[in-house]
A = this chain, B = another copy of it.
Amino acid sequence: MENFTLKLQSEDKRPLYEQLYRHIIGEIEAGRLKNGERLPSKRALCAHLSVSQSTVETAYGMLTAEGYLRAKPKSGYYVSADLYRPVTGQSAPRTERPAPVKTAPRYDFSTGAVDTGVFPYASWARLSREVVSGNPQLLQRGEAQGDPAFRQALAEFLREYRGVRCEADQIVVGAGLEYLLNVLVQVLPEESVYGLEDPGYQAAWQVLRNHGRQIRMIPLDDSGLREDKLRESGATVAFVTPSHQFPMGSTMPVGRRAALLAWAREADDRFIVEDDYDSEFCYLSRPIPAMQSLDDGEKVIYVGTFSRSIAPSIRVAYLVLPRRLLPVYEQRLGFAASTVSRFEQQTLAAFVSRGFYARHLRRAANLYRKKQQLLLEELEKIPGAKVSGAQAGLHFLLTLPGREEGWLTERAAKAGVPVRGLSAYCRACPCPESTLVLGFAGLKLEEIPEAAKALREAFEA
CB of A4 closer than 8 Å to a CB of B? no
Q: Mark A101-124, 1 if CB is under 8 A from B, else 0.
A: 000000000001110110101001
For chain A, residues 131 to 146, give those with C-beta under 8 angstroms from any C-beta of chain B: 132-133, 136-145
Asked if A93 contacts B169 (CB within 8 A), the reply is: yes
Which of B114, B167, B335 interacts with A85 by CB under 8 Å? B335
Say how many copies of this protein the assembly contains.
2
CB of A356 closer than 8 Å to a CB of B? no
Q: From A190, which residue of chain B is reached at the shortest CB distance?
A: B212
Q: How far is the CA of A202 from the CA of B202 in the complex (A)?
A: 33
CB of A179 closer than 8 Å to a CB of B? yes
Which of B119, B132, B307, B326 interacts with A136 by CB under 8 Å? B119
Which of B121, B137, B186, B335 interacts with A132 by CB under 8 Å? B121
Q: How far is the CA of A341 from the CA of B333 in the complex (A)?
A: 22
Instruction: Specify the main secondary structure of chain A where it touches its partner.
Output: loop
Interchain nearest-CB distance for A174 vs B (Å)? 8
CB of A357 closer than 8 Å to a CB of B? no
Q: From A148, which residue of chain B is reached at the shortest CB distance?
A: B92
Interchain nearest-CB distance for A212 vs B (Å)? 7
Q: How far is the CA of A311 from the CA of B179 in the complex (A)?
A: 22
Which of B92, B136, B143, B169 interacts with A116 by CB under 8 Å? B136
Q: How far is the CA of A113 from the CA of B145 in the complex (A)?
A: 18
Asked if B94 contacts A336 (CB within 8 A), the reply is: no
Residues of B within 8 A of A117 (CB): 136
Residues of B within 8 A of A31 (CB): 331
CB of A370 closer than 8 Å to a CB of B? no
Residues of B within 8 A of A114 (CB): 139-140
Residues of B within 8 A of A140 (CB): 90, 112-114, 116, 311-313, 442
Asked if B327 contacts A340 (CB within 8 A), the reply is: no
Q: How far is the CA of A442 from the CA of B93 in the complex (A)?
A: 41
Residues of B within 8 A of A316 (CB): 341
Q: Known interface pairs A125-B133, A145-B92, A313-B341. Does A335 touch B186 (Cβ–Cβ under 8 Å)? A: no
Q: Mark A304-323, 1 if CB is under 8 A from B, else 0.
A: 00010011111110000001
Q: How far is the CA of A442 from the CA of B141 in the complex (A)?
A: 11
Which of B167, B175, B186, B210 interacts with A339 by CB under 8 Å? B175
Asked if B112 contacts A133 (CB within 8 A), the reply is: no
Q: From A314, which residue of chain B is reached at the shortest CB distance?
A: B341
Residues of B within 8 A of A442 (CB): 140
Residues of B within 8 A of A157 (CB): none
Asked if A337 contacts B311 (CB within 8 A), the reply is: no
Q: Mark A340-383, 1 if CB is under 8 A from B, else 0.
A: 11111000000000000000000000000000000000000000
Q: Beyond the given A124-B132, A175-B179, could you list 16 further A-B residue pairs with CB under 8 A, ordered by the A residue number?
A: A90-B140, A92-B143, A112-B140, A112-B141, A114-B140, A121-B132, A125-B132, A128-B128, A128-B132, A140-B312, A176-B337, A179-B179, A206-B335, A313-B337, A313-B341, A315-B340
16 sample A-B contacts, Cβ–Cβ < 8 Å, listed by A number: A29-B331, A84-B335, A85-B334, A96-B169, A96-B323, A112-B141, A113-B141, A139-B313, A140-B312, A140-B442, A175-B179, A176-B339, A206-B335, A210-B332, A312-B337, A341-B341
The 7 closest A-B pairs by CB, nearest first: A175-B339, A139-B311, A141-B312, A313-B342, A116-B136, A175-B175, A92-B143
